[in-house]
Copies of this chain bind each other. A is one copy, B any other.
């Protein structure tokens, strides 16, 4: 019996894809974010303290919300708010509330996503729905959304409240579109509509919120938003790359997780566009909900990704978006915050998890 193969059927093929496409990738995000964290530690401690001081109810709903928040995560969205605010007048109480709100909205979407995708693991632990149930997780998501909006409202920045509601609308529209597209190979335009709505919109809002709290002038604030949007798309494209070409032990979830859920990632979309025969075969695979992504399927997908250069080109897109994001920072006041935002943009496309 080959236990390793049977529990991780795709690992062999995919490690080869990874080796071919990105032989010397450094885990830049982790080390650079660690440096950043040191500088901005007090801000993030404030955010974590505020997250920990949410109303402590003892129902399964409260438990589900608390479980996810306590697991931590990268806190990238609060980091965006904090850095944008620090590029201006600083990280004050309003900025903290907005940073907390960004993380709460993100957490709400994770809680609902795990119910939708029947996700069992997140952040190295069982998901809230496994421990507290689907129902508690649904209500917990609703609750965190309401808590986020209350915090945004409490800052008095009504424009940010309006934009948060617009962002939620866009986010739900994207979730709905993704759901409608499940089991199909979407058009490139639909793929980017989902990414813009599900990921980029909240990064964009986080940067707008930080810029507003930090009293940046209009050109700098607009540049921050463009940065947020670009970094958000780059982040998602890299997530997609890691799903098909990452190291499962580093990424923390199994490879081809998206494909298993019937979702088409950007590298697969490229491979389908470039290889019609593979495209036709893959359409059949994703249309059949009962198909199990086994070694044979993983092997064929891995070969198509390699032969079409899809993974390399997906990385190239992420890099180009990251460079465009760096360009946005030119009109932002120079200083440590701007340097940190540069590092974040560069590190996001140079990560392994």
Asked if B168 and A146 sit within 8 Å, CB to CB, the answer is: yes
Cross-chain contact A176 with B146 (CB below 8 angstroms) = no
Give min CB distance, A218 to chain B, whole Å: 23
- Asked whether A329 is an interface residue with its Cβ less than 8 Å from the other chain, the reply is no
Give A61's nearest chain B residue, CB to CB: B176
Stretch at the interface among A86-94, A137-145, A287-295: A137-145
Bound: A238/B294 CA distance, A? 56
Chain B residue at minimal CB-CB distance from A161: B153
The listed residue (B61, B138, B162) touching A115 by CB distance below 8 A is: B138
Mark out the residues of chain A between 156 and 172 whose CB falls within 8 Å of any chain B CB in the assembled complex: 158, 161-162, 165-166, 168-169, 172
B60 touches A172 (CB 8 A): no
Q: When the two chains form their complex, are residues A57 and B147 in contact, meaning their CB atoms are under 8 A apart?
A: no
Task: Judge whether A176 and B143 touch: CB under 8 Å.
Answer: yes
Q: Which residue of B lies closest to A142 (CB)?
A: B172
Nearest CB in chain B to that of A109: its residue: B142
Known contacts A115-B138, A116-B135, A59 near B146 by CB under 8 Å = no
Chain A residues engaging chain B, CB cutoff 8 angstroms: 57-62, 112, 115-116, 135-136, 138-139, 141-143, 145-147, 149-150, 153, 158, 161-162, 165-166, 168-169, 172-173, 175-177, 179-180
Closest 6 CB pairs of A and B: A61-B176, A59-B176, A59-B180, A146-B168, A143-B172, A116-B135
10 additional A-B residue pairs with CB within 8 Å, beyond A60-B180, A115-B138, A146-B168: A62-B176, A112-B138, A135-B179, A139-B172, A139-B175, A139-B176, A143-B176, A146-B169, A150-B169, A153-B162
